[in-house]
Amino acid sequence: MEVFQPLGLSPELCRQRQRRLSRVMQQYRLEAAILVDPRHVYYFTGYWCRPVFATAFLLTHEQEATLVVPAPVEHSVAADLVRVYESNKMGTLVDLPVAATIGAMGDRLRRFQRVGADTGLPPVPALSELVDLGIPLLEMRRSKDPDEISLLRRAIGAAEAAYAYAVQTLAVGVMELDLYAGLMAAAIRGAGEPIGDFGNDFQIGGMGGPPRDHAAEAGEVAILDLSVTVRGYRADLCRSFVVGGIATTAQRDAHSQVVETLDDIANRLGPGVSCRELDERARTLLKNENGWVFPHHLGHGIGLSAHEGPRLNPHWDDRLQVGDVITLEPGLYGPELRAGVRVEDDYLITRDGARKLSSFPRDLTPDEISTHAVARAF
């Protein structure tokens, strides 16, 4: 199993992102940009803290960066000035912490009139003209830098550690809640630090949803869709396992169709490729005469949000770009399958195609995944 060293975003690459933000500010004729979404503060400065605390970041048209934090900074960050606001009083958190961060930089804000902001900024009387930077920031975040990819790989490794636990643990009689608790513990150990959100689907014998007080039955499929979050960056992987180790002919046929579709689409990834056309091809490949259905998207971008651009979905018309990190998650579902089969992997779009970032075996039964294969996956 790969051992990840403590890491975070690179201050040098954060400065590069600040320069890209400065170009956006010039485009919108902004004197400054103020960001209070902790993901954006982290993205541009490399400062990460517990989500319970608020942070803020101010970048001026002169590219001077101010960071407002709840405690003195103990590591290198991409900021010219760091201010500490009063986040608690004798251990009790203050009300309206975002407003408190804004108050900590008030004298600086009074210098500006036309300012860009992200969502979540409270009313600031000193600012007469606010410009919403939500869409430009999402566009910036699509192309992942090397430090972001490192964090995504760390999150992917933590998810794969959880799958290794599932392979060793999933058996008839296992309770969904107990499996969920063990998966989370394995992911935390794999990450080497506390994790954030953990994903959506943990049900055995169901298409998806939170864990229930349900005992696994022989022949049911556990569709485990894990979105492990490490310092804001979210992996998104899915594996499907048949409880009891004996898959039916229908389950194996569906699994083969899903994996073949996944590989076919992965081989077509590259810059400029239409996401809508990829989704359409997947739906064609997943057609069958058994009544099995594919009711959800083919995939989506991942990063600081669970779903980012591009969307591989007929409701969007995106095209892949260099630096996108995406998921592909074809699936087939029906009562005959005892839930269904979904397999999901993560890919980085490169200049000449795509690089697969995830590596855990895709086998349908835990017994088919040998100890050697699990170890090799990391």
**pLDDT per residue over 118-163, tens digit each?**
987 777 777 778 999 999 999 999 999 999 999 999 999 999 999 9
How long is the chain? 378
Domain 11-141 in CATH 3.40.350.10? The answer is yes
**Whole-angstrom Cα distance, residue 172 to residue 361?**
21
% the chain with pLDDT above 70: 96
Of 28, 53, 55, nearest to 44 by C-alpha is 55
Taking residues 367-374, report their average pLDDT: 62
pLDDT at residue number 1: 31
**pLDDT per residue over 308-330, tens digit each?**
999 999 999 999 999 999 999 99
Residue 371 scores a pLDDT above 60 = no
Instruction: Please indicate, yes or no, whether the overall pTM of this predicted structure exceeds 0.75.
Output: yes
Query: 83 forms bridges with which residues in the sheet?
Result: 68
**pLDDT per residue over 62-85, tens digit each?**
999 999 999 999 889 999 999 999
**Of 3-7, 130-134, 267-271, 313-317, which range is least confident?**
3-7
**Whole-angstrom Cα distance, residue 333 to residue 238?**
14
pLDDT at residue number 122: 77
| pLDDT tier for residue 197 given thresholds of 50, 70 and 90 | confident
Of 32, 21, 70, 16, nearest to 48 by C-alpha is 70
Residue 375 scores a pLDDT above 70 = no
Type of residue found at 264: D
Residue 192 scores a pLDDT above 80 = yes
- One CATH from 3.90.230.10, 3.30.565.10, 2.60.40.10, 3.40.50.2300 for 143-377: 3.90.230.10
**Whole-angstrom Cα distance, residue 211 to residue 205?**
11
pLDDT at residue number 370: 56
**Of 117-131, 168-182, 240-254, 348-362, which range is least confident?**
117-131
State the average pLDDT for the chain: 93
Q: Which two tokens stand for residue 174?
A: 């296992």
- CATH 3.90.230.10 positions along the chain are 143-377
Q: Which of residues 1 and 169 earns the better pLDDT score?
A: 169
3-state DSSP percent of the chain in helix, strand and coil, to 5: 35, 25, 45
Beta strands in the chain (DSSP E): 32-35, 56-60, 65-69, 81-84, 88-89, 92-93, 114-117, 129-132, 199-201, 221-226, 229-230, 233-234, 237-242, 299-301, 308-312, 325-328, 331-334, 339-342, 345-350, 353-356
**pLDDT per residue over 339-362, tens digit each?**
999 999 999 999 999 999 999 999
Q: Which two tokens stand for residue 370?
A: 């040998």
- CATH 3.40.350.10 positions along the chain are 11-141
| pLDDT tier for residue 35 given thresholds of 50, 70 and 90 | very high
